[in-house]
């Protein structure tokens, strides 16, 4: 009789431990789920960034009296005068104004761009973009394209549509660096799907 009571007691002890482990795993899963879907479930104020196309003056200078634009001259001059304004305009067209600071401690969205032999970086800050001709630590996403492709995007009627086609055709490559939870907490998931038509698949 004594032995039977001890066995029953031990059995309940293991059952409690198993339930406790499952409870902890369920709580962790719930927290990760909330963080992951926060980009969809919580309405964020749109980061309004309004910019003028940086090629405007170059196009004007290379337009003759008949209104014909010397396209190759614009591209050549645009590549030579390439600066942060070009990066900002393209990023806004890609939808970075829909990104926001993570509410769970991951910080601001950070994007690295590789154009030909140059590395640029941009951090989405309140009210705008902090863009520099240098690399950045802990970037979330990397965009690789040529300056010529960037200029042609700026000359297109719809920069966003041009970039979507460029991604599809391989002229522009988008590489997700951060983990899926971090990307979701900053609003990248919708932006990536809009550009590629695919869900983000990143190993944690």
Per-residue pLDDT of the chain (204 residues; tens, 9 = 90+): 455 554 445 556 666 777 777 777 777 777 766 655 555 455 455 555 666 888 989 999 999 888 888 989 999 999 999 999 999 998 988 888 889 999 888 999 999 999 998 999 999 998 789 999 999 889 999 999 999 999 999 999 888 889 889 988 999 998 989 988 899 899 888 888 878 777 766 444
Q: Reduced to 3 states, what is the DSSP secondary structure of residue 139?
A: coil
Cα–Cα distance for residue pair 100/42, rounded to 1 Å: 11
Please state the pTM of the whole predicted model. Answer: 0.72
| 31 half-sphere exposure, CB direction, 13 A CA radius | 8
Give the domain ranges of the chain. 1-43, 56-196
Cα–Cα distance for residue pair 59/117, rounded to 1 Å: 25
Among 23, 70, 28, 77, which Cα is nearest to 54's? 77
| 8 half-sphere exposure, CB direction, 13 A CA radius | 5
CATH classification of 56-196 is 3.30.70, yes or no? no
Cα–Cα distance for residue pair 26/21, rounded to 1 Å: 9
């Amino acid at each position: 009789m004594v032995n039977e009571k001890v066995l029953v007691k031990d059995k309940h002890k293991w059952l409690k431990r198993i339930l406790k482990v499952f409870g902890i795993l369920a709580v962790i899963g719930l927290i990760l789920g909330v963080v992951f879907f926060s980009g969809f479930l919580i309405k964020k104020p749109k980061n309004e960034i309004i910019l003028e196309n940086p090629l405007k003056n170059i196009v004007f200078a290379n337009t003759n009296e008949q209104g014909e634009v010397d396209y190759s001259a614009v591209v050549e001059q645009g590549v030579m005068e390439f600066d942060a304004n070009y990066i900002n305009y393209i990023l806004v067209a890609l939808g970075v104004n829909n990104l926001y600071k993570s509410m769970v401690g991951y910080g601001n969205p950070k994007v690295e761009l590789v154009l030909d032999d140059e590395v640029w970086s941009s951090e989405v800050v309140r009210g705008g973009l902090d863009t520099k001709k240098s690399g950045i630590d802990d970037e979330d996403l990397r965009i690789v394209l040529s300056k010529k492709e960037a200029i042609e995007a700026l000359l297109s009627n719809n920069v966003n549509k041009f970039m979507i086609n460029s991604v599809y055709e391989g002229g522009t490559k988008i590489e997700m660096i951060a983990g899926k939870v971090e990307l979701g907490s900053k609003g990248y998931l919708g932006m990536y799907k809009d550009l590629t038509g695919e869900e983000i698949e990143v190993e944690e």
